[in-house]
Chain A
Amino acid sequence: MEDARDHDLVRRVKQRDEEAFRDLFRRYGPLANGLAVRMVRHRFVAEEIVQEAFLSLWRDPAAYREERGTFRSWLMSTVHHRAVDAIRREEAQRRRSREAEPAELVLGDIGQSVVEEVDAASSRDQVRAALQEIPAEQRQVLMKMYFEGRTQSQVAEELGLPLGTVKSGTLLGMRRLKAMLLEDHS
């Protein structure tokens, strides 16, 4: 149902329908922003990432192909790529800096601006519950990669694990999540 609505909106965006574009932004902008803020931990940078992700859809709506998955996943992936780029650029700069103090979080007013939607909250609870079902080490590996923008080598180094363990943990964790999130409901 939701996917069908998204697909309709994207089709209208392809026809340069500004209202459809606005609807998609209202629908997914806050979630995309939540992901970007969580990753880059800087609201201004996060918002730029979200704006660029939506503009990339406007400029090239064909980049999203509905036969390859949901719009929501495509958008989150687009935001994620850009956030990872920002994180890795920032880390490269920090490595070059002589003063490598940990970044401070700029999250002061997030609590006031959180937007809650019932269906989104339900989905969130389901995924959070699924994450709790996988072994802690696998969960830690997945979270570091996804939310902190780490590569598998970096995760191995930070957690003091063999690279092979990180790779197998990624595979097993993702397989388990897939089983719980996709296959149990198909």
Chain B
Amino acid sequence: MSSDQMSHEALEELIVADVLDGLDEADRTRLWAELRRHGPDCAECRRLLEEYGEVAGALASTVSPVALSEGAEERLLAEARRSAGGLRSRRQATMVAVAAAIALIAGSLGYALAPRGPAVPSSFLAFVAQPGTRVIAFPATGGQRLAVAVRAGQRSAWVVGTGMPTPPNDRVYELWVQPTASSGVQPAGTFTPKDGRVVAPVTVGSSFVALAVSIEPPGGSRQPTTQPIFLTKT
């Protein structure tokens, strides 16, 4: 170790945090710069990284194992076979899209609302995974949560929700958009929850200043006939 290199004691303080993925970005940059300066053959650096890596790994063992879903093993093997055959990129792209979709929705509204499982339309996942997608959340009402995923300049959008009761007498929820502050509202699409959940395509117009949801007769209305139960300005 040369005199201008960080000491191993100082490096240790960075390494213990790094193996926990807890370093702030500046410290992480500093750590990796120092590790490069010490070089890949620095036995003490390797020892610290290995030993503290094992300690971090041991922390993982404090959690109870959780069985994976049925079919997870076969899905993994099928993907591995495809991977070996050169189809990795499509799988990766799909998984990235799914992860992005979930992060986007979960990040805005909490994990409870995040779409999951095979029932989620792939077109929704594809939409929400695109760059520039924004999630507009209505203020929560009791256990009811509702949001609209939109993309600037696009008319198509998706409404997602959870804890939504089914309206009585075949009535439906209807989404309304207000294009400008001085204009009235326009219908953007109807939807009905299934088991309390909603993932439905709607059409919002390329720009708007407010969104609202009301309960309307079957098929929807041209103008709201009841007070909005959700309302948010954008």
Q: Interface with A: B134-142, B164-172, B181-189, which one? A: B134-142
- In the complex, whether B79 has a CB less than 8 A from a CB of chain A is yes
Interface bits A130-142 vs B (CB < 8 Å: 1, else 0): 1100000000001
Q: A45-B114, A131-B62, A182-B51 are in contact. Are A33 and B57 (CB under 8 A)?
A: no
CB of B3 within 8 Å of the partner chain: no
Chain B residues with Cβ below 8 Å from A131 are: 59, 62
Q: Contact check, A124 vs B106: say whether CB atoms are below 8 A apart.
A: no
Does any Cβ of A come within 8 Å of B58's Cβ? yes
Could you tell me if A89 and B60 are in contact, using CB atoms closer than 8 angstroms?
no
CA separation between A34 and B108, bound complex, in Å?
A: 24
Residues on A with beta carbons closer than 8 Å to the beta carbon of B16 = 170-171, 174-175
Interface size on A, residues (CB 8 A): 92
Segment among B29-37, B66-74, B196-204 that sits at the interface with chain A? B66-74
For A80-91 the 0/1 string (1 means CB < 8 A from B) is 110010100111
Check if B60 sits within 8 Å of A76, measured CB to CB.
Answer: yes
Interface residues as binary, A47-74 with B (CB distance below 8 Å gives 1, 0 otherwise) = 1101110110011000000001110111
Chain B: CB-nearest residue to A102 = B110
Given A25-B73, A86-B99, A99-B108, decide whether A33 and B66 contact each other with a Cβ distance below 8 A. Answer: yes
Chain B residues 50 to 93 lying within 8 A of chain A, measured CB to CB, are 50-69, 72-73, 75-77, 79-81, 83-84, 88, 91
- Check: B215 CB closer than 8 A to any chain A CB: no
Do the beta carbons of A29 and B111 come within 8 Å of each other?
A: no
**Residue positions of A touching B, CB distance < 8 A:** 16, 18, 21-22, 25-26, 29-31, 33-35, 37-38, 40-48, 50-52, 54-55, 58-59, 68-70, 72-74, 76-77, 79-81, 84, 86, 89-94, 96-99, 101-106, 110, 113-117, 120, 123-124, 127-128, 130-131, 142, 145-147, 149-153, 155, 167-168, 170-171, 174-175, 177-178, 181-182
Q: Can you list 21 A-B contacts with CB-CB less than 8 angstroms, sorted by A residue number?
A: A29-B72, A31-B60, A42-B106, A43-B69, A44-B117, A45-B99, A45-B103, A47-B69, A51-B79, A51-B95, A58-B80, A77-B57, A79-B60, A90-B106, A90-B107, A93-B107, A104-B110, A115-B67, A120-B65, A146-B56, A151-B22
